[in-house]
Chains A and B, each alone.
Chain A
Amino acid sequence: QLQLQESGPGLVKPSETLSLACTVSGGSIRSSSQYWGWIRQPPGKGLEWIGSVYYSGVTYYNASLESRVTISLDTSKNEFFLKLNSVTAAETAVYYCATWGMTMGIVWGQGTLVIVSS
C-alpha cells in the first residue's frame, strides 16, 4: 500500500527557507503514471497546490509561488523534497506531500504543521 510521510522542521523564521522531505513507501517515485507534489492548508482555510514533479524531473509550480519554490526528487532514496524561500507568517500551514495521476485521486501524507515565526 502506497504511503507518504513528511519530515522537516516545524518552525521556520520569517524570510528563511522552508525545507521538507517526503519519504515514499509501498511504491516507486520512478512510476511514469504519477506526479509527486506538495499541497498546503493554512489554519481554517482551503487547500492550495504548491507544485509537483514527474519522475523525469520535470516540475510544475503554482504561478503565485513559482519564483520561490523548488521541488526535486531523489530516486535512489525514493524521496522528494520541497524548498520554499523567503517565507512569511502567512505561510504558516499544514504541508502535505502527495501523489496523483490523471485517473487516480490524490494519495496524501498525514501532513506536517509548519509555523513561520521568529
Chain B
Amino acid sequence: DIQMTQSPSSLSASVGDKVTIACRASQTITTYLNWYQQKPGKAPKLLIFAASSLQSGVPSRFSGSGYGTDFTLTISSLQPEDFATYYCQQSYHTLVSFGGGTKVEIK
C-alpha cells in the first residue's frame, strides 16, 4: 500500500499570507495526486487533480506542483473562506490512500 504523509498537521496564518502544504508518498506516484479542501459538516471539495491541474471553478490562488513522491499545495494569498482542512490523495494505485490532513487556522 502507498502511504501518504502530509505536513504540517496544522498551521496558523493570516489573511493575505502565502501558505504551503506538503505531501509525500511512500513510493512514486508520478502525478497521480489530488488535493481537497474540507469545511466542517461538508464533503471534501476537489481543488487540484493530477498534481497541478486546477479543478473548474476553483480560484487561481490555489496551485499544485510536484512529481514522483513530493508534492505541494500553495495558496498564494489566503482568504477568509480558505480556513479549512486540506487533504492530499493518491490515485496511482487501486488501493486509494489519503494524507492525514492539514488544518489551516486563523492567526
Contact = CB atoms under 8 A, between A and B. Distances in A.
A27 interface: no
A89 interface: no
Interface string A33-47: 001010100000011
Chain B contact residues, majority secondary structure: loop
B96 A52 contact: yes
Contacts of B92: 102
Interface in B58-107: 87, 89, 91-92, 94-101
Contacts of B32: 102-103
Given A105-B49, A108-B43, A110-B43, A47 B91 contact: no
Interface in A102-118: 102-111
Given A47-B44, A49-B96, A101 B101 contact: no
A106 to B, nearest CB: 7
B50 interface: yes
B55 interface: yes
A103 B49 contact: yes
Interface in B24-55: 32, 34, 36, 43-44, 46, 49-50, 55
A107 B32 CA distance: 16
A109 B43 contact: yes
A72 to B, nearest CB: 17
Given A105-B46, A105-B55, A60 B95 contact: yes
Contacts of A111: 43
B91 A102 contact: yes
B43 A47 contact: no
A96 B43 contact: yes
21 contacts: A39-B96, A46-B99, A49-B95, A49-B97, A52-B94, A52-B96, A60-B94, A62-B95, A63-B1, A100-B91, A102-B91, A102-B92, A103-B50, A104-B49, A105-B34, A105-B46, A105-B89, A105-B91, A106-B89, A108-B43, A109-B43
